[in-house]
Structure 1
Amino acid sequence: MTVRYTGHFAPRHTPQNEPIPGSTQVRNSASGFSFAVDDWTRLDRFLVLGAEGGSYYADERQLTLQNAEAVRRCLEANGGRTVARIIEISEAGRAPKNDPAVFALAMAAGMGSPGTRAQALAAVPRVCRIGTHLFQFVEGVEAFRGWGRALRRAVGNWYTEKAPRDLAHQLSKYQQRGGWAHRDLLRLCHVKANEPSNSALRWAVGKGELPDTVDVNDPLTPIVGFEAAKRATDPAEVVRLIREYTLPRECVPTRWLNRMDVWDALLEHMPLGALVRNLATTTRIGLLTPESTAVDRVVAALADTERLRRSRLHPIAILAALRTYASGRGVRGRGFWIPVQRVVDALDGAFHAAFGNAEPTNKKWLLALDVSGSMGWSAIAGVPGLSARDGAAAMALVTAATEPNHHVIGFTGCGFHVAGTQAATFGAWSAYPNSGSGVEMLPIRPDQRLDDAIRVVDNLPMGPTDCALPMLYALERKLAIDVFVVYTDSETWHGNIHPIQALQRYREKTGIGAKLIVVGMVSNGFSIADPDDAGMMDVVGFDTAVPQLMSQFAVGDAPRS
């Protein structure tokens, strides 16, 4: 009998449950083998995606520990670079939530070298832009260090270096969070509130008296308005105070927040993020109706791209609002409303606008969505009901709207079928004889509404992960592809050939120097992209810079991660 040694050792064709001989692959969480991303990529993934809710293979605690260790290693390797990256992603609004950046900054302030700690403390006002962020930072930093002079000074400076009007706004709107209040921090930091200009700080620590009324330009206006609203006994008076002092919702006593006239006044100057968060409430109480002027204001606000940019409202926040609002019921079943279609449409448009504009490359793109079981479980940035699979569909829609020459498929390592379609129409194909379809074309179109695109993948059956399928599919179908984009958690394990081997085979058979972009949808430590191949790039899913980076990489003008 002749032994086929290549059946056991083949660097060009290796099962995914074994490492490619001679490679640097590591075992992933699904017991397959992928490449480990470097700590800087892991830092980006954490800052953008966080670890809230965990993943299919790691619970929230495990995923947080893994990411925290990566942040720690980055701090040890180059603390200044780490702090600069935290600031960059936080200030640019590239992440759905600021919580990971605040936590990472707290780590830098508590675990870094003396120079790194100083940089981190100096960055507190830039990353912790509102009172809630400051409370989160203090809670986090206490886990890593005690209250030394430098920390007290940094927290105290957060208050004393603010413009008087902004300080009064912060003190009245964000009074306490997570067991902390401004009074606690001001006393802990020994901030002096005796000067006449510090009336707001004296109010925060319970000292001094405020005038009953002030001029609209007075720095104390937010606090005086807040105190007046607490004393108000008539709804008309509350409405007047909201308009006169431009009070935010947090400064209006709860007993008045079930009134349409109160919300109408609030809506006039409401920040865009707050407006999006309160769409359900304003619809439920009857303020937003198909023909109301309030709806006109909401639609105009969501269509204002400059206002959208200034608000730092992240696409994830818009997507979460769209899913919840369009459903007509709260995530936990609390509250019901009839969604206004114009508002749903405006949210859809705002989602695309929040990513900015990317120039089309006129390359041929294959957008491949991992619809395996692990992608259907993980939550994006802790948003209830928004899986990595749903997020992949949303991200693919953004690229599809930019690139005219694209092809959208879903893949998993076993048979599945898109509901309501015919296999012959949507290209059912499998790399595994008699196993059913491993790849299907997905009916996702550039002109499609976001919620419709997500609905295509939302209820697909679960299956194993085989990230080689997109390349094998394109090769078998003789598709000319310049750029493969795989939206995945990289927990691949099911196939009998690795994704990079399938890409190499595609390149050799077609003569096309195809590139691979891996869009990481979970903040784990794995990627199917070979770090030694200049034609492969890792990006972080739902980083607002991703569409532009992908376009630049496709034409050779962008870094590889």
Structure 2
Amino acid sequence: MSAQDETVAGLKQILITASNTGTCYGDHLARHLVDWFQFGEHQLYKKQQQQQQSDSSQHIPDTTLKTASPVDILLASTAVIPRLVEQGKADEILDTLRTYSQLPYVDKEVLEVLVLCLAVTAKQTEQKKLVTDAHSAVRELCTNTHLFFLFIQFSKMIAKKDGHCGWGRGLRRAVGSWYLSWEPHRLAVEVTRHASAHGWTHRDVIKLAHLKLKDMPIGTQVVLHYVFQGLGRTTEKYSGQDNSQDLLTLLQALDKDGHPQEGEKAWDVDEVISKVTKLHEKFGNLTLDDVPSQSLKSQELWSHLLDKLDSESLVASVNRLGRCHLLNPSTETLHPLQDQLVARLTQETVAAGPISPTQTLLSLHAYQHPARFIVDLAVKSGRGGARGAGRVLARKSSKVNPKVIEAMHTLIANSAKNIDKTKGKLGVCIDVRGSMATTHVWTGNPEGKGEVTCQEAAAVTALSLSSGGTNTAVSTLAFSESGLVNLTLGEGATLSQVINVFKETVIGGVNVNAALEWGKENGAETLVVLTHRLDHQAVAVASQALDQFNHEHNTQLRLVLCGLGTKRLNTPHIPGILLMLGFHHRTPTIIRAFHERYF
């Protein structure tokens, strides 16, 4: 592969894995950088305040981060973009961003990394056409407020490093085009569904972009006037003008508490029910963001809401309902709501939605093992304040509903069957030793482990890759005493059934050479090894075996090594090998994209 091809491949890898290394940890690169930047700015502001309030010239220690700044890390992680510009391949950058934004392997988390790449592209000032085209692509790639404000935040971070404010003509035009490109009714839903993100509000952005409402179409004027003045003044100004009544009626239904007036009453259940009914009738989809959070403790509201939520919001609502004690099996009067939730979770339309088996499994464990943080160990200071306060993980006692658990397991199986089948022979080789059942996956959380066992993670990954046992191009195998044995996953197999198949297998150690031999005999294009622990020696042995195998047989077999319970390994990029540590809801998706040669 030439240097230019490697550069393009590096950009594609970032857009699929959110990482520019050969190892995937499940880290959220874009979000970590924004949080880190905002933390650094807050620390700097506190230091400046201390200096202003200090009456002496005593030195105040610098509490800002001493390591590389988040902007430096941002630019380093996307260094492939300026390299493409240097190689004269600037046109491929936006083409790749547009193409990959449409792939099924790119979800909303990876879109944040795509927006990061778009912001870096828009700052390649030596390429004026590229910068102009990047700003023109903002509306196409930033498909919601969250991504749009993320682009603005990244632009600010990069510009600040160069001593600029970030609000040049190109960004102002991009902001104006973003708002103008929305159909007014859709824009009304967007500005009320997501009023703010990443420290920005629609009012901030519109003011800094110097948008003039009088130059805009009447529908856009109504919505943006509402952003600044609220529902009452907007209704007074535009009532009866140019058929704006329908839009005003929609805003009245959407209006939350963003512009509370003195004496205004809080939401009641009937108002919320009316709102969600109108939204569902007009647009056909509904998320939890459309519902005032303070009203989500009402059983009556949930009974109207469950049949209207999209699949992701429906699965997310299980844990919320559990926290509100609306699913307790001992509560006789609430059985109709429980039965309604169970019936909805088992509908084919839910399984056919964007929800994945891994997301459902993680939500199921969140429901089965509820946890919350409490502030404890607070030591009172001499001046009456609290210092030394820490966050301690405490378990809430909560009863789980067996019917809901069974419905979630059914959804895992049904949603796996709806995953598009991969092409090319794929072998999924699983470690079925007892340690897989007793160790937990690494999810990157501060407590060090998740509730999901490595055995469950391997089972749900096998289900996802095999499309619920329906894809004949995918073989599920187990490491046994005799090498590798085939595991039969029946069509529509449940998670429990797959785990039982694991338990019935005669166990054996992980043997990469045996997997490679199976790949040779069966014409496999990719092999996946799922185990609970990886170390440097295991990776080095596997790398050497793969190189030797491909050289001897003149093949391009690829290998995925998944250490489901492994935290960190400082391993350089190894051609032909994808190293995945820990478990993330995107783990099967990344493996499928690697197998399909998207990076």
TM over 0.5: yes
CA distance in 2, matches of 1:177, 1:147: 18
Q: How far apart are residue 348 of structure 1 and its match?
A: 0.5
What's the counterpart of residue 56 of structure 2?
Answer: none
Deviates more, 1:228-237 or 1:296-305: 228-237
Structure of greater relative contact order (alpha carbons < 8 Å, 6+ residues apart): 1
What stretches of structure 2 of length at least 5 have no aligned partner? 34-67, 160-165, 281-285, 328-333, 374-393, 503-508, 563-567
**Alignment-mate amino acid for residue 88 of structure 1:** T
Whether the aligned pair in 1 keeps the contact of 2:105 and 2:589 (CA below 8 Å) is yes
CA distance in 2, matches of 1:370, 1:528: 26
What's the counterpart of residue 395 of structure 1?
Answer: 461
Whether the aligned pair in 2 keeps the contact of 1:45 and 1:523 (CA below 8 Å) is no
Query: 1:365-416: per-residue Cα shift (whole Å, max 9, x none)?
Result: 463679999x954649xx9839996766543333442237735246xxxxxx
Q: Does 1:329 align with 2:354?
A: no
TM-score, normalising length: structure 1: 0.66
Q: How far apart are residue 296 of structure 1 and its match?
A: 1.7
What's the counterpart of residue 18 of structure 1?
Answer: none
Q: How far apart are residue 346 of structure 1 and its match?
A: 3.8
Matches within 5 A, 1:103-502: 103-111=116-124, 113-145=127-159, 146-194=166-214, 196-197=218-219, 198-206=221-229, 208-210=233-235, 218-227=246-255, 231-232=265-266, 234-246=268-280, 249-285=288-324, 286=326, 292-300=339-347, 302-303=349-350, 305=352, 308=353, 312-313=354-355, 317-325=359-367, 327-330=368-371, 336=398, 338-339=400-401, 340-353=404-417, 355-358=419-422, 365=427, 367=429, 377=442, 379=444, 385=450, 394-400=460-466, 401=469, 402-403=471-472, 406-409=475-478, 426-427=480-481, 445=489, 448-450=493-495, 469-472=511-514, 480-483=521-524, 485-487=527-529, 493-494=536-537, 498-499=541-542, 501-502=544-545
What's the counterpart of residue 69 of structure 1?
Answer: 79
Q: How far apart are residue 114 of structure 1 and its match?
A: 2.1
CA distance in 1, matches of 2:114, 2:27: 24
Query: 1:483-506: per-residue Cα shift (whole Å, max 9, x none)?
Result: 250358998741697546534766
Q: CA RMSD in A?
A: 5.2
What's the counterpart of residue 97 of structure 2?
Answer: 86
Q: How far apart are residue 142 of structure 1 and its match?
A: 0.9
Whether the aligned pair in 2 keeps the contact of 1:43 and 1:70 (CA below 8 Å) is yes
**Alignment-mate amino acid for residue 123 of structure 1:** A
3-state DSSP of counterpart to 2:246: coil
CA distance in 2, matches of 1:354, 1:48: 21
3-state DSSP of counterpart to 1:273: helix
Whether the aligned pair in 1 keeps the contact of 2:427 and 2:474 (CA below 8 Å) is yes
Question: Which structure: greater helix fraction?
Answer: 2
Q: How far apart are residue 295 of structure 1 and its match?
A: 2.7
Q: How far apart are residue 190 of structure 1 and its match?
A: 1.8
Q: How far apart are residue 259 of structure 1 and its match?
A: 0.7
Whether the aligned pair in 1 keeps the contact of 2:513 and 2:545 (CA below 8 Å) is yes
Matches within 5 A, 1:17-96: 38-50=6-18, 55=25, 67-74=77-84, 76-77=86-87, 78-96=89-107
Q: Percent identity?
A: 19
CA distance in 1, matches of 2:92, 2:268: 54
Q: How far apart are residue 524 of structure 1 and its match?
A: 9.3
Q: What is the number of equivalent residue pairs in this alignment?
A: 469
CA distance in 1, matches of 2:123, 2:540: 45
**Alignment-mate amino acid for residue 129 of structure 2:** G
Q: How far apart are residue 322 of structure 1 and its match?
A: 4.0
CA distance in 2, matches of 1:123, 1:168: 22
What stretches of structure 1 of length at least 5 have no aligned partner? 1-22, 25-36, 411-425, 430-439, 458-465, 531-535, 551-557
Whether the aligned pair in 2 keeps the contact of 1:102 and 1:133 (CA below 8 Å) is yes
Q: How far apart are residue 262 of structure 1 and its match?
A: 1.5
Q: How far apart are residue 337 of structure 1 and its match?
A: 5.4
What's the counterpart of residue 45 of structure 2?
Answer: none
3-state DSSP of counterpart to 1:110: coil
**Alignment-mate amino acid for residue 252 of structure 2:** V
Whether the aligned pair in 2 keeps the contact of 1:427 and 1:441 (CA below 8 Å) is no
Whether the aligned pair in 1 keeps the contact of 2:179 and 2:187 (CA below 8 Å) is yes
CA distance in 2, matches of 1:57, 1:174: 24
**Alignment-mate amino acid for residue 518 of structure 1:** L
Matches within 5 A, 1:486-525: 486-487=528-529, 493-494=536-537, 498-499=541-542, 501-503=544-546, 516-519=557-560
TM-score, normalising length: structure 2: 0.62
Q: How far apart are residue 125 of structure 1 and its match?
A: 1.6
3-state DSSP of counterpart to 1:480: helix
Whether the aligned pair in 1 keeps the contact of 2:461 and 2:588 (CA below 8 Å) is no
